[in-house]
A and B are shown apart, each in its own frame.
Chain A
Amino acid sequence: MKKKSISYAKWGYIFLIPFFVVYCIFALVPLVQTFYYSFIEYYVDTGTVSIFNPDGNIVDNGFCGFANFKEAVTGKGHFFSCLGNTVILWLIGFIPQIFFSLLLAVWFTDIRLKLKAQGFFKTVIYLPNIVMASALGLLFYSLFINNGPLDSVLGGLTDKPSLMDTIWGARGIAGFINFMMWYGNTTILLMAAIMGIDTSLYESAQIDGATPTQTFWKITIPLIKPILAFVLITSMIGGLQMFDVPTFIAGDAGYPQGKMQTLVMVIQTGKDSSVGLVGAISVMIFIITAILGFLTLKVMNDDGSGKKKKKKPAKG
């Protein structure tokens, strides 16, 4: 038996080749280069740059220590204001998202409530998630644009600026789209977690005279805590990458007043100019994501009976 497994070992390596070759070229090398750029004074002279002549105007002044990070945090990188915008946009979507998802997940799994047409409801609430985010962004943009269909209803014939021209209006619209796209997904994840709870717990609670509110706070919430944490952190990681919706609502500069500019928008707009600065911002995104990812693993592993236990090897 042992001999056999040795003779087949080379096939394991052979089958891994495509993954690792492609991963190195298209992900690992770029990641290393991103870290490299973050310590290099590297930019493209935007005066004459063209996509067909990308090498002509590159300025590479070599190692510059933490200057890029300093500029990202204090100077024109706007790191903290963009991070703040990203977090606000994420919160506007996430708070109603987790509220309604919990509510729906509890209702769908309630053995006494016995809701009908669950398949239909689940299909509909998940639907926005598979729709192109940029199309949703453009749809809302075209609805709220000055004198557009919704603006003319909301503002009538007055000269009031469109909702989208106000900071909180624009943020609200983008946050709403994020809510709409993700609450179905979260509902289904939480449902799976709640259905994993032993039903005899609910039955005995019912016999003991517990109200639905009591069972929710005393049984459901404590038992789905790991999944709740997982949802929270993965949603944070996803929120950090927010790009499509705010770009379509507010444009590359994050109109109005740059209050809609997210971190990833800075990467996209600076890719042909301030490469070093963008590299520094990317590294900071990477670090925040790594911390959040580590937290996810920790949360999943702390839960002794969790389904996600398979992830354990990741901690090595």
Chain B
Amino acid sequence: MPRSADVVGESTGQTSLLIRRIVAYVVLVALVIISLLPFWLLIVNATRGKVQTGLEFWFGGSLGGNFKVLFSDNNQTRYGSILASFGNSFLISGLSCALSVYFSALTAYAIHVYDFKLKKVAYTFILLVMMVPSQASAIGFYRFMIKLGLTDSLIPLIVPAIAAPSTFFFMKQYMDSSLPLEIVEAARIDGCGEFRTFNSIVLPILKPAFAVQGIFTFVSSWNNYFMPRLILSTKRTIPLVLQSMKSDIQGNPQAAHAGAMNLYMVLAILPVIVVYLILSKYIIRGIALGAVKG
């Protein structure tokens, strides 16, 4: 905690500032270690062997072996195709991301640019449903998908991204600050159709908003465990494979291969971390704008 300083003497003020600075750096470094140590251990454990007792802080020599085990036939029968789990996760997250940003922008554009009777009602409605957590309607969602014959299908995990109220809200705010209506007017005078105006003139202006929201949607979809578990039974996404691996080390620790499991986890979080590290500046700015709800 910051120390209260004796404010009268200038030199005491300087010393207390120095102390506060040292305390701050010590706490920060400690938090950095806490935040990074789990990932370091994960990477190290991905290079260690089948049975892992005791902590190691430096790499083992089993990385290649773990790769072989992870993609072995034995593993594929146990967990389903490892590659397919990545494929499914990529397909779901990629399509959700594209649909979500495009249609949220379209919806926000409708509210931003046009004047119509139900505009206020529609806007209020979307803002209200932003609060509804998907878990609260999950049971109705699941039973309804059974009726539609959409269980064990990727559709219920992708298509709902079209109606994403919080992405809509971000797009609307972005348009309020950086999409002047004059641009739309000018396009109309030049004889550009409404749909084409949106696609070829408005979309390029929204690129920064697309980037931020696209990343958030991709990541939350990639990391989602609740929805795929609700809907899928034979198809698997990455978190569902992790779940099977967990029940394996829990139920049958002798048969489970800790090295291969840790390697799979590294591969599962790697794409997101790489993208994050490249774009962290924009992402952190995006959060500060209130883009992400807790």
A104-B28, A112-B17 known; A212 and B115 CB under 8 Å? no
Contact A9 B114 (CB under 8 A): yes
Contact A125 B269 (CB under 8 A): no
Residues on the B chain within 8 Å of A11, using CB? 110, 114, 194-195
A268-B226, A271-B139 known; A289 and B131 CB under 8 Å? yes
Contact B132 A289 (CB under 8 A): yes
The proximity string for B residues 237-258 relative to A, scoring 1 for CB distances below 8 Å and 0 otherwise, is 0110011011001100100001
Contact A285 B140 (CB under 8 A): no
Contact A275 B265 (CB under 8 A): no
Contact A248 B138 (CB under 8 A): no
Contact B253 A124 (CB under 8 A): no
Contact A37 B24 (CB under 8 A): no
A13-B116, A244-B225 known; A149 and B144 CB under 8 Å? no
Residues on the B chain within 8 Å of A311, using CB? 127
A:10-35 near B, CB below 8 Å: 10-16, 18-20, 22-23, 26-27, 29-35
Considering the complex, give the chain B residue whose CB is closest to the CB of A213.
B4
How many of chain B's residues have a CB under 8 angstroms from any CB in A?
Answer: 118
Chain B binding surface SS class = helix
Chain A binding surface SS class = helix
Beyond known contacts A113-B20, A119-B281, A209-B7: 6 more, CB 8 A cutoff: A122-B284, A125-B35, A134-B223, A185-B287, A212-B3, A268-B230
Residues of B within 8 A of A (CB): 1-5, 7-8, 17, 20-21, 24-25, 27-28, 31-32, 34-36, 38-39, 41-42, 45, 52-56, 103-104, 106-107, 109-111, 113-120, 122-124, 126-144, 146, 151-152, 156, 159-160, 162-163, 168, 173, 176, 194-195, 198, 219, 222-223, 225-226, 229-230, 233, 238-239, 242-243, 245-246, 249-250, 253, 258, 261-262, 265, 268-269, 272-273, 276-277, 280-281, 283-284, 287-290, 292-294
Residues of A within 8 A of B (CB): 5, 8-16, 18-20, 22-23, 26-27, 29-37, 51, 54-55, 100, 103-104, 106-107, 112-113, 115, 119, 121-128, 130-136, 138-143, 145-150, 152-153, 180, 182-186, 188-189, 191-192, 209-214, 216, 231, 234-235, 237-238, 240-241, 243-244, 247-248, 251, 264, 267-268, 270-271, 275, 278-279, 282-283, 285-286, 289-290, 293, 296, 307-308, 310-311, 313-314, 316
